[in-house]
Structure 1
Amino acid sequence: MSGSKANLNTILDQSYRECHDIILNSLKNDLQTLYSCIRVSRSFCRTFIPILWMNPFKFVKDEDRLVQIFNTLIHCLDQTWLVRQSIEIEQLLTPKAYFKYHTFIKEFELNTLQKAMRIWISIHLSNRNDLFRMSSERSRVSKLVFMINKCIGDLFFNKGGQYDSLNLFYNDFLSAILDISKFKNHKESLANVKKLSLGLFNSNGMELITPIAENFLKLQTAFSPNIQHLQILSINNSIRPNEFSRNLVDFIHTQRHLKSLLIHDFWKDEFEPFLKALRKHAKSLTFFKLECPILFTTHLSSMLRSLPNLITLELKFTPIPDGDASREISAASFSNLEHLNYDCCLSYHSTNHITLFKKILLSANHLKSLRVDDTYCLFIKEIQGQCFLNLTHFHLILHRSCAIMDSMSLVDLMELLRNLHQLIHLKLNTVLNRYRLLNRIESFKRFSQVLARSLKILEVNFPVSDEYLEVLFNESKFNLHCIKLYCYERTQDISLRVFIDYAKRNERFKELGITKEFKFSKELIEEARNRFNILIHTNSEINSPFYDVPIKNSYWCNRR
């Protein structure tokens, strides 16, 4: 046994250093494997604990786990400080921390930390302190947050923390506004930040804007001008104070080489300065995500004209009537674009956005993935008549009473898919999934026949019965590697048999994704697992983009 451990531990030897990054990078999002690794030996524990703690909140979606993580951080604090502040802890759930866990954190999330703190205080701090006995529960928790904030802030910004990513999402609680700039070593902690997220979701008005703006203004001097990925979101769209907006636009302008920018419409009253800031990053910016409740297409066209090197473009907006944008649109270049997510409410009161959509498809010669709703199918087919679309990934949002159910819409969809000869990954996503494939076997057979031979992954979120699955597998020319069903209608055990029979004919089929566990017979499960994996996924997974998003917000970062 000792010999086996010795051989296993040689993986971590410095002579294999060139392999470490490859191994660790492949495991950084595999929570189950990481937890298994820390149980192997002390050496493995010392290696893999820092990976788990790069952002310990990233994988957590329940409050109990959130509290456990914060409880570990509490044990990294100076316990004598807690005693001096008359903060009594009813029960220490863990012994003194074995590691300086806070120093492993590379992705700091303010709101997640504050959320964990408030829950932890409400659970684990006793009510014996006279100072809080007569206060309401919310007031008591808020006062304790003020007290602990100082010590937690010191832990993160005075005790050696070095952050690659900073997420500052502010909520309704004044006590959550941690002034990072007050800690003497905060500049050292923020000097290497490459990803920065700033978000506001205050529902009570403007009273918190001033302290938030002041805090961010003080932090700007600490940030390097070499931030690569920047996200600025305003959850409450009524918050657009001019001074703060100008400050944010100036911050964008001070950066040297932004690679990605994810924003809402905070710049509306500062469009020309914002456009000037965008132009500064014309060569470096490759990822641009813009969400606006309403937007002049002339403004959008001016922005896109300023960004000729975009690889990924996400747009979510409602166009409003404006002037003729054809000149700006014709001057825009999309020759490097590979991924397009075009979420625009179709409005014939403003046709500029339709012209823009056509321009993108016509000039984006390297476009690989497209996400769009079915109201744009007509325009896609029109473009297919003018040029060849080399799409390999296609996500279609079905609005029109579900295109699969409506015979006329089904014809439109088949004509569109018939010409996507290189398609590898197809997502068909109904907005309302109550529809059923009833009495449309012949139509569905023709639909299955037009799917590209190259198709490897298929995801649908409308109910599909065994009868239709058999048609799909028998009539199609593809060899699927994976199918994900988000509204799978199961009728007894025959459902799993459909996939087993398909796997017998197609050895490349290796994954079935469903949204809940069914009580299949033990024999069928064993037979299925000998041929393919059965994975449980969430309903929201169908909306995951085909490409990597540079800034990924955790489950808690924008929750109150």
Structure 2
Amino acid sequence: MSILNKDVLSLIFEELVFDKNRFISNLITIEKKSLYSCLLVNRHWCEVAVPILWKNPWKFIVNSRLLLNVIILFLSKESQEFLKSQGIYIFSTKYKKPLFDYINYCKYINFHKIENFINNGLSFGFNEEYQIHAMEQEIYKLLINKCSKIKILDMMNTGSILKHQIYHFNGAKNSLGDLTYLCCDSIIDSAFFYGLSHVCKLIQKIIIKRCPDDNSGLARLIEVQKNLKCFVCSVYDDAEYFIKYEKIGNALIKQANSLIHLKLIYEDNFFLLLEILPKLINLKKLKLINIANYDYQLEKYLEISTFSYLQVLHLEIISSLNIAIDIIKKTEGNLSEILLGSTIYNELYSGKYIHTIYEYCPNIKLLSLGINDNDYNEFEILLEKSLQLQKIVIDGSINQYSSSLLLEKLVNFAPKSLREIRIFNDWKISAYDLELFLENWRGRESIILYFFTDVNDSIHFNHHLLNILQKYREEGVIKNYRCDDEYQDFYFSW
């Protein structure tokens, strides 16, 4: 029997590790079972699975006590003696050398999970605050000293003051020097970010989940990066008053040449310096999610900006489709995703917008659009020309249209690549039209249907339609369907 080499096995095992947020809630359990079962096949498989599991051991915690017992086997004698002096007696007298250098495989430090894991000190026989602090300190020291290359640092939900300044620990320059991914809050004390800026200069992706202030230390950390590619920031649920983030904005301007992905979630007004937009000439992904209202100043800067290499465009609210049309026309045919959120598809520009898509976006795969009475010819041409189109959002927010012509165009002209259709707002869907559509779809690749509607309150959607959907799912015509009014899921859960 031939044996798969380790590189092939590693690729297969990595496929078992998914982002649990994208799938069913119990998938993390499935991951654990799948990967743990690989450990038991033979030594060859075990040698491949162990580094994957220990890349982020905090994700796969099954038994906190067992994980701590493994980690403390790697603590130096000095650390063990120090912890004993703090009244922590959890060290086995029967020392058995581990089969693998587990700590060396760790690429991920998650402050919140590590501290939660250690704060369970009561079950370990220690629960005084100074004891928990001491244990955290020695674990961080071990990770910084023994992890060869830490790639991801997650400091979310840690509070404003981090108790352990890991950049001062022995080995920090080596272990943190190749850090590529940082997830944090801007409420963390500036001093911590200043400290990181001395050892971390190769970060490619920074995600700020909560950003209530213009943190000067964080700005400095952004500024010193040599190849920052992705910046994601959310401010809408924190800022009590409007703040202009000039320090962070200026730092990002210095990264304009390398930055290819910008995602900002905010309320009312663009919170960075507007001057940054025309400078982002190499952007491939632009996502501006304004959850409140039109931002006319932002729109002026979008109109004078050119994003030639843009592949993904997500704009939550713009006052006119013409703004999106202008942006699209100045790209070079690379756009594969366009989502315009709550934008109104009025009759003046909706047809022109559809025309612009099929003329300038030959590689479009994900698209939102609105259709008015005079747009169906353009819509038909779009479907015929968009040979890579996989997912489409169709808005009916102006009027409550009959869906018969819409469904007819989709079933007759949609490319074979189309896998998902989302219909927004109250299109008038009759049982006859829906059943005819699904019968005519039979024989094609099964489709996913998502209707943005509250079934209990909808005028045009009823439980009889749900029965039809259920029937065709059971027959395999529909892969899956969903009917609800969760807006963020509907537009941005792809």
Same fold (TM > 0.5):
yes
Task: Indicate the residue corresponding to 2:36 in structure 1.
Answer: 35
Structure 1, residues 15-61: CA drift from partner, whole Å, max 9, x if none? xx6x5665455455493653342221122111111112212345x6x
Task: Indicate the residue corresponding to 2:329 in structure 1.
Answer: 362
Compared with structure 1, are the counterparts of its residues 67 and 24 closer, same or farther at alpha carbon in structure 2 (3 Å cutoff)? closer
Match 1:151 to one of 130, 138, 144: 138
Match 2:71 to one of 58, 76, 79: 76
Compared with structure 1, are the counterparts of its residues 88 and 22 closer, same or farther at alpha carbon in structure 2 (3 Å cutoff)? closer
Compared with structure 1, are the counterparts of its residues 54 and 383 closer, same or farther at alpha carbon in structure 2 (3 Å cutoff)? same
Task: Indicate the residue corresponding to 1:522 in structure 2.
Answer: none
Letter in 2 for 1:366: N
Output the CA distance in 1 between the equivalents of 2:159 and 2:249.
31
Task: Indicate the residue corresponding to 1:47 in structure 2.
Answer: 48
| 1:189 correspondence with 2:175 | yes
Compared with structure 1, are the counterparts of its residues 482 and 121 closer, same or farther at alpha carbon in structure 2 (3 Å cutoff)? farther
Output the CA distance in 2 between the equivalents of 1:221 and 1:67.
36
Output the CA distance in 2 between the equivalents of 1:35 and 1:420.
48
Match 1:473 to one of 431, 435, 438: 438
Output the CA distance in 1 between the equivalents of 2:69 and 2:395.
46
| Shift of residue 68, structure 1, vs aligned partner | 2.3
Output the CA distance in 2 between the equivalents of 1:230 and 1:315.
16
Letter in 2 for 1:166: L
Q: What does residue range 20-31 of structure 1 map to in structure 2 within 5 Å? A: 22-23=11-12, 26-29=15-18, 31=31
Structure 1, residues 211-257: CA drift from partner, whole Å, max 9, x if none? x221221221111x23222223425x3x34xxx33x32232222222
Task: Indicate the residue corresponding to 2:341 in structure 1.
Answer: 373
| Shift of residue 108, structure 1, vs aligned partner | 1.9
| Shift of residue 442, structure 1, vs aligned partner | 4.0
| Shift of residue 289, structure 1, vs aligned partner | 1.2
Q: What does residue range 100-139 of structure 1 map to in structure 2 within 5 Å? A: 100-118=101-119, 120-122=120-122, 124-126=123-125
Match 2:206 to one of 225, 230, 236: 230
Structure 1, residues 46-104: CA drift from partner, whole Å, max 9, x if none? 1111112212345x6xxxxx46257414431158555443236699xxx9965443322
| Shift of residue 392, structure 1, vs aligned partner | 2.9
Higher mean C-alpha displacement, 290-299 vs 99-108: 290-299
Given that 1:252 and 1:277 are in contact with CA atoms closer than 8 Å, whether structure 2 keeps it comes out as yes
Q: What secondary structure is seen at the aligned counterpart in 1 of 2:155?
A: strand
Task: Indicate the residue corresponding to 2:225 in structure 1.
Answer: 255
Output the CA distance in 1 between the equivalents of 2:183 and 2:43.
36
Match 1:383 to one of 353, 378, 394: 353
Compared with structure 1, are the counterparts of its residues 341 and 477 closer, same or farther at alpha carbon in structure 2 (3 Å cutoff)? farther
Match 2:278 to one of 301, 305, 308: 305
Compared with structure 1, are the counterparts of its residues 145 and 431 closer, same or farther at alpha carbon in structure 2 (3 Å cutoff)? farther
Letter in 2 for 1:420: L
Match 1:339 to one of 312, 316, 319: 312
Compared with structure 1, are the counterparts of its residues 543 and 343 closer, same or farther at alpha carbon in structure 2 (3 Å cutoff)? closer
Task: Indicate the residue corresponding to 1:220 in structure 2.
Answer: 197
Letter in 1 for 2:107: K
Given that 1:315 and 1:341 are in contact with CA atoms closer than 8 Å, whether structure 2 keeps it comes out as yes
Q: Report percent identity of matched pairs.
A: 18
Output the CA distance in 2 between the equivalents of 1:163 and 1:332.
37
Letter in 2 for 1:253: E
Higher mean C-alpha displacement, 23-32 vs 40-49: 23-32
Task: Indicate the residue corresponding to 1:165 in structure 2.
Answer: 152
Output the CA distance in 2 between the equivalents of 1:69 and 1:215.
28
Task: Indicate the residue corresponding to 2:185 in structure 1.
Answer: 199
Task: Indicate the residue corresponding to 2:366 in structure 1.
Answer: 394
Given that 2:311 and 2:334 are in contact with CA atoms closer than 8 Å, whether structure 1 keeps it comes out as yes
Compared with structure 1, are the counterparts of its residues 384 and 445 closer, same or farther at alpha carbon in structure 2 (3 Å cutoff)? closer
Letter in 1 for 2:261: F
| Shift of residue 472, structure 1, vs aligned partner | 2.6
Output the CA distance in 1 between the equivalents of 2:210 and 2:223.
19
| 1:424 correspondence with 2:389 | yes
Output the CA distance in 1 between the equivalents of 2:351 and 2:51.
51
Q: Which runs of 5+ in 2 are unaligned?
A: 19-29, 456-462
| Shift of residue 359, structure 1, vs aligned partner | 2.2
Compared with structure 1, are the counterparts of its residues 306 and 542 closer, same or farther at alpha carbon in structure 2 (3 Å cutoff)? same
Q: What does residue range 280-359 of structure 1 map to in structure 2 within 5 Å? A: 280-296=254-270, 299-300=273-274, 302-317=275-290, 318=292, 326=300, 328-344=301-317, 346=318, 356-359=323-326
Q: Which runs of 5+ in 1 are unaligned?
A: 61-65, 133-139, 203-208, 398-402, 404-408, 433-437, 504-510, 517-537, 547-560
| Shift of residue 149, structure 1, vs aligned partner | 1.0
Compared with structure 1, are the counterparts of its residues 294 and 492 closer, same or farther at alpha carbon in structure 2 (3 Å cutoff)? closer
Q: What secondary structure is seen at the aligned counterpart in 1 of 2:156?
A: strand
Compared with structure 1, are the counterparts of its residues 322 and 514 closer, same or farther at alpha carbon in structure 2 (3 Å cutoff)? closer
Given that 2:250 and 2:273 are in contact with CA atoms closer than 8 Å, whether structure 1 keeps it comes out as no
- Answer 1 or 2: higher relative contact order, Cα 8 Å, separation at least 6: 1
| Shift of residue 369, structure 1, vs aligned partner | 0.8
Task: Indicate the residue corresponding to 2:472 in structure 1.
Answer: 498
Compared with structure 1, are the counterparts of its residues 495 and 107 closer, same or farther at alpha carbon in structure 2 (3 Å cutoff)? same
Given that 1:157 and 1:186 are in contact with CA atoms closer than 8 Å, whether structure 2 keeps it comes out as yes
| Shift of residue 171, structure 1, vs aligned partner | 3.0
Structure 1, residues 144-163: CA drift from partner, whole Å, max 9, x if none? 43232112112211234421
Output the CA distance in 2 between the equivalents of 1:198 and 1:542.
27
